[in-house]
Amino acid sequence: MVETGGGRLHQRRGAVAFVAANKALLAAAWVVGFALVFLWQSASMSFGSAGAGGAAGGGFLRLLSAPPPPPRPAPRLRPTAYNLTDFGAVGDGRAVNTEAFERAVETIAALAERGGGQLNVPPGRWLTAPFNLTSHMTLFLAEGAEILGITDEKYWPLMPALPSYGYGRERKGPRFGSLIHGQNLKDVVITGHNGSINGQGEVWWMKHRRRILNNTRPPLVQLMWSKDIIIANITLRNSPFWHLHPYDCTNVTVSNVTILSPVSGAPNTDGIDPDSSQDVLIENCYISVGDDAIAIKSGWDQYGIAYGRPSSNISIRNVNARSLVSAGISIGSEMSGGVANVTVENVRIWESRRGVRIKTATGRGGYIRNISYRNITFDNVRAGIVIKVDYNEHADDGYDRTAFPDITSISFKGIHGRGVRVPVRAHGSDVIPIRDISFQDMSVGISYKKKHIFQCSYVEGRVVRPVFPKPCENLDIYDEQGQLVKRAVALNSTELDYDI
C-alpha cells in the first residue's frame, strides 16, 4: 500500500512537472481547440446540424475549402444591360476586343429612345483599339475589370487638330484619337466598382522621347462637344498623353476617380484637363501623374481667341494631388478663350514641384478672373503658389504680340503646409499685371532660408493677417478686423533666386 501510494504521489508530481515545463504548448493547444470548436459551431449553424452530425462535419470541411466570394453584381443603371462577353469578347489580355466593343455600342445606340443601355465589363483584361461611346450609355467596369489600350499605333485613328489649338498639341497636322472617345453626346456615364482603363502608355512615352512620332499622342478618355457627363468610381492609368479631356463640354461630373502614372518618365500625362468646358465638378479624386494633376484650359493663342469658348463655373474639391515635375492644380497655359469662376477647396498637394499654378504669356489673350483657392494644404512642395506670365510656348509664329491676358481677382484663403521652399512666387509684367490678388489666413512652414521666399512683381492686392511668412511689400496689409495697417510699395524686381 505504501508503495502504491508512493507511486501515485510520484505520478502526480510528474504530471505537475510536465505541465510546468510545457505551459506554452498547452496554451497553444487550448487556443487551437477553442478555435476548432468555434468554427465547427459556425459551420453547424450555416449548413444545418439537427440530427445530422455528419452533415455538420461536411459543412465544416466546405467552410475550410470555400472558394472566394463572387464579384459584386453590376447594378442596373439603364433599362437594358449587356455584358461585353455577349458580343464575343475574351478577357485574357491578348485577344483584341475592338469589334465586341463596337457591336455593343451600336446595339445600345439603337435604344436611345428607350432610355439607352448599359455595357458591363466583367473581371478580366480586355485588350482593345480605340472605340466610340454613344448617347444615353453607361459603361460599367466591374472590380477586377481592366480595359487595355493596344500598343501598336497603327490601330489608333488620326483625327483633325482641335479647332482651338490650330495644330496637334505636339506635332503639326492630325492627332491620334483617344482610346475611349465621344463627340456630340448626351447623357454618358463611365463608372463601376473601381475597374480600370489602362492606356499602356510606356511605348508612347518612349517614342515621344526618341522623337519618332509624327503626330500628337492620344489622350486616354476624350469627350467633345458633349453634355451631361458622369465619370465616377473608376481608375485611369498610364495614358499615352492626357488622361481625361472634356473638350467644349457642359455639365461634367468627375467623382471618386483615381488617376495614376509614373511621376517621372511619363511626359504630359495630365490627370484631368477641362478644356473650354462649363459647369464642371471634380471631387473626391486621388491623382498622381507625370504632369499637372488638374489643368484648366481653353485654347491656344490666336486659335483659342478665335474659337472663343471659355472654361467657367468649375469646382474642384476634396482632391489629393501629386505632380513631381509640374503642379497639383494649374490654370493654363492654353487659356486663350478665358477662364473664370473657378473654386478650388479642400485640396492636399504633396511631394510636388508646384502646388497651384497659373501660367500664361503674351499672345494668349483671354482672361483669368474670379479664381478662389480655399483650404489648400502643401506637403513637401517646392513652390506653393506660382503665377507665371512668360510661358512662351506658341502654336506657331502667327500669334498676336499685342494679345495680353487679363489676370484679375485671385484669392487665397486658408493656405497651410510644411516643407515648402517658396510659398509664393507671383510675377506679372508691365504688360500683364496681376490685379486684385488677396491672401488671408496663410501659414506655410518653409524649408528654404533665402531672403526672397514670398516673391511678387507687378502685383496689386492685399494681405489680411495672419499670413506667414512675411508677405512682399507690393501688397496692402490689413489686420484681422479689416483695418489697413500698411500701404503697398510698388517693387517690381523680377530677381529670381532659382528656377521654379
Instruction: Return the ∠ at Cα 95 (arms to 94 and 97), rounded to 5°.
Output: 130
Collect contacts of 398-404 with beta carbons under 8 A, ≥24 apart: 398/301, 398/302, 399/301, 399/302, 399/363, 400/301, 400/302, 400/305, 400/363, 400/365, 401/362, 401/363, 403/301, 403/302, 403/305, 403/336, 403/362, 403/363, 403/364, 403/365, 404/362, 404/365, 404/431, 404/432
51 CB burial (10 A radius; 0-12, 13-18, 19+): exposed
Beta-carbon contacts of 106 under 8 Å, excluding residues fewer than 6 positions away, are 134
Our separate counts of H helices and E strands in the chain read: 6, 31
Residue 404 corresponds to which cell in the numbers above? 495680353
Given the DSSP bridges, would you call strands 250-255 and 278-289 parallel, antiparallel or unpaired?
parallel
According to DSSP, the residues that pair with 282 across neighbouring strands are: 254, 316
Give the integer Cα–Cα distance in Å for 472 and 491. Answer: 9
Residue 2 corresponds to which cell in the numbers above? 505504501
Which helix (H) or strand (E) element contains residue 382?
strand 367-388
Give the integer Cα–Cα distance in Å for 178 and 161. Answer: 13
CB 426 within 8 A of CB 387: yes
> How many CA within 13 A on the CB side of residue 375?
9
Residue whose C-alpha is closest to residue 261's, from 226, 217, 312: 217
Q: Is the peptide bond before 218 cis (omega within 30 degrees of 0)?
A: no
> How many CA within 13 A on the CB side of residue 19?
5
- Catalytic entry in 187, 248, 273, 291: 291
Residue 270 annotated among the catalytic residues of the structure: no
Q: What is the DSSP string of 78-111?
A: SSEEEEGGGGT---EEEEE-HHHHHHHHHHHHTT
15 to 10, 367, 434: CA distances (angstroms): 9, 90, 89
Given the DSSP bridges, would you call strands 175-176 and 158-159 parallel, antiparallel or unpaired?
antiparallel
Phi-psi category of residue 256: left, alpha or beta, with phi > 0 → left and psi -120 to 50 → alpha: left
Residue 297 corresponds to which cell in the numbers above? 484650359
CB 257 within 8 A of CB 236: yes
| Catalytic residue list | 291
